[in-house]
Amino acid sequence: MATKSKFQAIKGTRDIQPPETALWNRVEQTAHEVFATFGYGEIRMPVFEPTELFARAVGGETDIVSKEMYSFEDRDETSISLRPEATASVCRAYLEHGMQSLPQPVKLYYMGPMFRRERPQKGRYRQFYQIGAEVLGGTDAPAIDAEVIEMLMTYFDKVGLHGATLYINSIGHNAENCRRGYVEQLKTELAKIKDNLGPDSQRRIDTNPLRVLDSKLESEQPYIEKLPRIADHLCDECKAHYAAVKRQLELRGLLYQENWRLVRGLDYYMRTTFEITAPGLGSQNAVCGGGRYDGLVELLGGPPTKGIGFAIGEDRLILSLQERAKLEGPDSPLATRHSPLLYIAWMGERAYAAAIRAAKDLRNAGFSVELPPLEQKFGKALGQADKLGAKYALILGDNEVAEGLWTLKTLLTGEQQKFPEPELLEFLCQQKKVSS
Ligand code: AMP
């Protein structure tokens, strides 16, 4: 029975506990491994930064900055915010450490908590975790966009996410003969259907018309579907870039769907945008968002610098993997357990000394071992081993110590085998090989 404590985690935050943490570790470990094979290095950044960094990089007009940031005044009266995302920090770090002088592009990845004061629901939290990567500097060759996406899809595959769908789009660039011209036309069309839109979209007609295309509001859908599409307004260079990205994806054998409504509301975003959805998540089914942002580093005071990146919602990735594990049952490769392999049931002082030695050797060999701190009757010890879900009990009593033969009991079958001490370790190592 849970006892209610006087304190609870703040709304929208939660504890991630064992055995679930094992899955988190696996997801993170796989990211380290896969991203390294693509030449990315990990960067760890502070979780708080000057508020101004996010106001600039994410945009003061966005919901994230205007409504959702956790900001506070530090003792020296500077305004500080918990990071709502990490691309701004990566760009800041790129400039701060003079990474422009390294061979370009610089490929970085990060993982960690982000903070947004959103309305909590399944797959949406106020403290959530992202795994992201950024490619800064060098060229904007379409092969870079495609390789970033290839890395993502490889990662999702390796981590065991089934049924991920990749959506792509191009939002052109911020020029009159390209996106700016399109946005003007979009505004005009939106003004005509204003009365049929909800209050959020009505407000966005002036502040951020592209974001109206993001709307999930059922009643708005028939109107939005009839709006002009950006693909028909891209300049020749952006059109060619988009066609080349698609060709590059095909070269890599990656399936994609085009979604003309996939936009980013900020001026420095350009050309490629992408999103990946995963099954089992309900309405919050976007597990990753990304895009090209060639103007961002310059906006932060640096030289013109190409940039592209993505952020995976780790909480959602885990939720989707858990849904899959539920469907597959206890034999799923994603099922997580938190049980010792072996429980040492010892009785008597001499046996205890042997038990301590055995525990040390077995743990050194990588086995998970539970060594009870107090002597227990064998019946009780075996019951405890069972409760903990151990696979084996190692029985060490006076007889075993005197004979130099240790008894290993397989708890599921009740089968017992006797081994001299060194052979026990060998036997367990053999078992490990067979089962892996
Ligand atoms: P964004 O930084 O808004 O482009 O989001 C990138 C990804 O982070 C999304 O596709 C989600 O998977 C995840 N994400 C964003 N906001 C939240 C949140 N409040 N809770 C959980 N995951 C989130």
Within-domain flag for 15: no
The reply to whether 324 and 355 lie within a common domain is: no
CA 292 from centroid of its chain's CA atoms: 19
Asked whether 63 lines ligand 1 (CB < 6 A), one says no
- 398 with 293, same domain: the answer is no
* Chosen domain end from 299, 328, 357: 328
> Quick count: other Cβ atoms within 10 Å of Cβ 189?
15
What is the DSSP track for 99-138?
A: GGGSSSSEEEEEEEEEE--PPPBTTB-SEEEEEEEEEESS
Nearest CA to ligand 1 atom 16: 124
Does residue 349 share a domain with residue 426? Answer: yes
CA 21 to centroid of ligand 1, rounded, Å: 20
Task: Please name the residue whose Cα sits nearest to atom 21 of ligand 1.
Answer: 124
264 and 393 both lie in a single domain: no
Q: Same structural domain for residues 32 and 129?
A: yes
* 262 and 357 inside one domain: no
> d(Cα 190, Cα 188) in Å, to the nearest integer?
5
Q: What is the pLDDT of residues 165-202, one digit of tens each?
A: 999 999 999 899 999 999 999 999 999 999 999 998 99
Pocket test for ligand 1, best of 263, 316, 320, 321 (most atoms within 8 A of CB): 316
Residue 197 belongs to a domain:
no
Residues 394 and 410: their CA atoms lie apart, in Å, by 9
The pTM for the full model equals: 0.92
Q: State whether 26 and 115 are in the same domain.
A: yes
> Which domain CATH number covers 407?
3.40.50.800
pLDDT score recorded for residue 1: 59
Specify whether 149 is located in the same domain as 290.
yes
Q: Is the CB of 85 under 6 A from ligand 1?
A: yes
Residues 48 and 125 in one domain: yes
Residues of the chain with pLDDT below 70 are 1, 265, 434-436
Which of 328, 354, 388 terminates a domain? The answer is 328
- How many CB atoms neighbour CB 316 within 10 A? 24
The residue contributing the CA closest to ligand 1 atom 15 is 313
User: Do 324 and 358 fall within a single domain?
Assistant: no
- Check residue 5 and give its pLDDT: 83
d(CA 124, CA 117): 10
- Do 61 and 207 form a contact (C-beta atoms < 8 A)? yes
Alpha carbon distance 305, 294 (integer Å): 6
Q: Is position 82 within any domain? A: yes
Q: By CB neighbour count within 10 A (0-12 exposed, 13-18 middle, 19+ buried), where does 390 fall?
A: buried
Domain count for the chain: 2
Q: Does 157 reside within a domain?
A: yes
What single DSSP character describes residue 166? E
**Residue range of the domain that includes 241:** 20-172+234-328
Last residue of a domain, one of 298, 328, 358: 328
